[in-house]
Amino acid sequence: MDVKIAIAQIDITFGNPQKNREKVQKWIEMASLKSPDIIVFPELWDTGYDLSRLEEIADSNGASSIKLLQQLAKKHKIHIVGGSVANIQENGIKNTLIVINDEGKLIKEYSKLHLFQLMNEHKYLAPGNNDGLFTLMDFPFAAFICYDIRFPEWMRKHVLKGAKALFVVAEWPSARLDHWRSILITRAIENQCFVIACNRVGSDPNNEFAGHSLIINPWGEVIAEGKDEEELIIQEINLSDVESVRKRIPIFTDRRPEYYN
């Protein structure tokens, strides 16, 4: 039941997908030397938050970034929670999280449901309309994008459908680092599951980003945490911890949903 996770806590070059793709390739090659099962990248890792230029720099359906990740996943036999990529779809530009298995197959696309007005997402992006559930190595997981973590009901919905670990990809500014840590620890405690959260470091013309990627166990303990510079965080998790915590404090049998609406 052990799963070895690698979080690629990278900086992102603003509005330069080519350079960012080269970096991601290097980081996957470097990470593969440590043989992780799953590697995670941050939100909008190919374009950064260069939202006003997305029409020009984002891919149609994210094709170039997805193709690159598919080749690398297959070559290095590694599952990729491929952060999110900006992609042009028929009904607008989306901020879409992609999951690729170790055979290079695209198994999940989840477009950010909640758009973050403080960073102007609502002016340039269209929201998604599907869930973040997926299965890797026969385990049920779910994935979310940054601002989504402020919506506990959205994450709980995925846990009620079986997710045992919640992946989060982010470009979360340093100004709200305390919110980032507190919210993610709370989501792990209240859902009694793992939280695996990858945030970028560095800055763009509008924000400085916090790093502090986190892996939190179902008891709410931080078992791995990045600092505020680029780093590869490696941590094994044991998914049977989810059942142990749920036996000790059985919130999923004690809840009274008939009173909640």
Ligand X SMILES: NC(=O)CCC(=O)C(=O)O
Q: Does 184 bind ligand X (CB under 6 A)?
A: no
SS3 122: helix
Half-sphere exposure of 152 (CA within 13 A, CB side): 11
Which segment (143-151, 184-192, 220-228, 252-260) binds ligand X by CB under 6 A? 143-151
Catalytic annotation on 146? yes
Q: Is 113 in the site for ligand X (CB under 6 A)?
A: no
Query: Residue 244: what are its φ and ψ, rounded to 5°?
Result: -60, -45
Q: Please report how close the Cβ of residue 107 comes to ligand X at its closest, in angstroms.
A: 24
Which of the ranges 54-62, 81-89, 166-174, 186-194 carries the binding residues for ligand X, by CB under 6 A? Answer: 166-174
> How far is it, in rounded angstroms, from Cα 249 to Cα 261?
23
Q: Is 144 in the site for ligand X (CB under 6 A)?
A: no
- Give the Cα-Cα-Cα angle 32, 199, 136 (nearest 5 degrees): 50
Among 134, 172, 194, 209, binds ligand X (CB under 6 A): 172
Q: Contact 11/230 with Cβ under 8 angstroms?
A: yes
Supply the DSSP symbol for 173: B
Question: Which residue in 4, 74, 156, 179 binds ligand X (CB under 6 A)?
Answer: 179
Q: Is 50 in the site for ligand X (CB under 6 A)?
A: no
In 33-114, alpha helices (H): 54-57, 63-76
Active-site residue 112, yes or no? Answer: yes
Give the binding site for ligand X (CB under 6 A).
43, 116, 119, 146-147, 150, 171-173, 176, 179
The residues annotated with a catalytic role in the active site are 43, 112, 146
